[in-house]
Amino acid sequence: MREVGHFIGGKHVAGTSGRTSDIFQPMTGEVIGKVALASRDELRKAVENAKAAQPAWAFTNPQRRARVMMKFLDLIAKENDALAELLAREHGKTIADAKGDIQRGVEVVEFCTGIPHLMKGDFSEGAGPGIDMYSIRQALGVVAGITPFNFPAMIPLWKLAPAIACGNAFILKPSERAPGVPMRLAELMMEAGLPAGILNVVNGDKESVDGILDDPDIKAVGFVGSSSIAEYVYSRATATGKRAQCFGGAKNHMIIMPDADLDQVADALIGAGYGSAGERCMAISVAVPVGKATADALMDRLVPRVESLKVGPSTDPSADFGPMVTKAHLDKVRSYVDLGVKEGAKLVVDGRDFKMQGYENGFYMGGCLFDDVTPDMRIYKEEIFGPVLSVVRAKDYEDALRLPSEHEYGNGVAIYTRDGDAARDFASRVNVGMVGINVPIPVPLAYYTFGGWKRSGFGDLNQHGADAIRFYTKTKTVTSRWPSGIKDGAEFSIPTMK
């Protein structure tokens, strides 16, 4: 059985805490390994390694740091198939979806190869009499990322690539449910030329998380997970003086206007709602058709599509989605479907009892589709994080706009329409952080930033794009004057540009 420890100081290190967690293969339900859960002492060793290595890395010129990123990209490309297979084996998503997971992370690494330009400051000659002013961006020091199970490649790359490119040392605490890919990424970083100690992977649970939040040498923390834990991480991190960007749950709506192409809408909802078994923070989990005629016509198209979804093992190239990550998570999602029935929603398609022939112990569930869901129901209010789509019928456009705007989550939203005025009005007024217009999963590209509003995000700066560079650096402003030999005498008032 495979044993996964930690990656500290440029090498694999066995766990010493005596605590471990099972690594499952969701396709079969088998335990395929054990991952060590770090103690605070083990975390501290990683921090000490990072702290010792970071100053030299920060003083390495940005072009050389960019070359490490370029080499890293080459190595990922060569190992893409193997990384995708490892990711699918531990997570359960299909191979095709796993490759998408890796690719969206790679795009942020590609963005970070421009770090010499991204870290440039400003310069003003003659800002005052004989005075020049300039600003420089400098690394924070040791920073950390706490990443979720559902994107074992993408989210770690979103965190570690900009942090390291900016000259920081990085402590990664990935999900203990899928530790394989983060460990392999650390190995590839070393092969790319990253100095030992700059990237450390510490596997663990709440003890490791609290250790990161309390450690005085860790200057910033990035987190992705549930909203309750995101708020906890943000509060505890900022209380100890750290920068924090923490992203939580979602309840992403798709508004369907009466003029929309409903065949296109149905296809978009199937992919966005059921892809990766719904285990995406950007999954569409609520469809909002405007008007009864639109809702009835949409349901006519949706029902047969949901009924025909192909659930299969991760290795099946024809599967639409695979199993969920653990038995506990499967049971949780099933319980939400049970709850929806009790709350009075109409369960039009029921996938709770799905069994995969030959994989009866795997963590599988078929697609579920609810109609007549109302905003007072828990299945509408809470994130389900599974292959469950709820249809909430809106009487008009204003009613539809109000639903995502008033929901406690504000991660992503989409509108499908052929009316440019409606789309423009919606994008301007909706109280949500990321908006798609005829785009079902509005994940921004790497050179824009990713982040939700309300209880979907805690902190002032988003992930990737320019915000990542701001988050992982501090700005120093220098005011410079070289004596000209003229003595002006002492000045006791504050300097001004007068």
Closest CA to 141 of 209, 224, 197: 197
Topology given in CATH for the domain delimited by 252-437: Aldehyde Dehydrogenase; Chain A, domain 2 (3.40.309)
Averaged over 84-99, what is the pLDDT? 96
Segment 424-466, tens digit of pLDDT: 999 999 999 999 999 999 999 999 999 999 999 999 999 999 9
pLDDT tier at 128, thresholds 50, 70, 90: confident
Q: What three-state secondary structure class fits 34?
A: strand
Please check the confidence at residue 487 and state whether its pLDDT lies above 70: no
Closest CA to 243 of 168, 318, 182, 334: 168
Please check the confidence at residue 3 and state whether its pLDDT lies above 90: yes
pLDDT tier at 111, thresholds 50, 70, 90: very high
Q: Let me know: does 260 contact 417? Beta carbons within 8 Å.
A: yes
| DSSP at 190 | H
Beta strands per DSSP E along 169-251: 169-173, 199-201, 218-224, 243-247
> Would you state the CATH architecture of domain 2-248+456-478?
3-Layer(aba) Sandwich (3.40)
The angle at the Cα of 340, spanning 352 to 148, to the nearest 5 degrees, equals: 70
Report residue 145: phi and psi, to 5°. -135, 135
Residue 279, C-beta contacts closer than 8 angstroms, at least 6 positions apart: 93, 150, 324, 325, 329, 385, 386
Q: List 133's β-bridge partners, or say none.
A: 124, 479
Segment 226-246, tens digit of pLDDT: 999 999 999 999 999 999 999
How far apart, in Å, are the Cα atoms of 376 and each of 140, 214, 382, 392, 406? 45, 39, 11, 11, 12
Q: Which of 188-202, 269-283, 481-495 has the lowest mean pLDDT?
A: 481-495
| Share of residues in the chain with pLDDT > 70 (%) | 98
Please check the confidence at residue 498 and state whether its pLDDT lies above 90: no
Please check the confidence at residue 116 and state whether its pLDDT lies above 70: yes
Averaged over 309-322, what is the pLDDT? 96
Closest CA to 75 of 201, 194, 196, 189: 189
Segment 412-423, tens digit of pLDDT: 999 999 999 999
- Ordered by start, the domain boundaries in the chain are 2-248+456-478, 252-437
Please check the confidence at residue 497 and state whether its pLDDT lies above 70: no
Q: What three-state secondary structure class fits 108?
A: helix
Please check the confidence at residue 278 and state whether its pLDDT lies above 70: yes
What per-residue confidence (pLDDT) applies to 216? 97
Q: How far apart are CA 307 and CA 334, in angstroms?
A: 17
What per-residue confidence (pLDDT) applies to 493? 74
Which positions are annotated as active-site residues? 281
How far apart, in Å, are the Cα atoms of 431 and each of 125, 234, 273, 434? 42, 22, 21, 9
Averaged over 77-101, what is the pLDDT? 97
Q: How far apart are CA 185 and CA 163, in angstroms?
A: 15
Q: Alpha helices of 373-447 — where are they, by DSSP H?
A: 378-381, 397-406, 420-429
pTM above 0.85, yes or no: yes
Averaged over 329-350, what is the pLDDT? 98
Please check the confidence at residue 209 and state whether its pLDDT lies above 80: yes
If you search the block for the tokens 């390291």, which residue do you land on?
Answer: 164
Single-letter amino acid, residue 72: F
Beta strands per DSSP E along 83-140: 123-128, 131-139
Please check the confidence at residue 178 and state whether its pLDDT lies above 90: yes
Single-letter amino acid, residue 361: N
SS3 content of the chain, % helix, strand, coil (to 5): 40, 25, 40
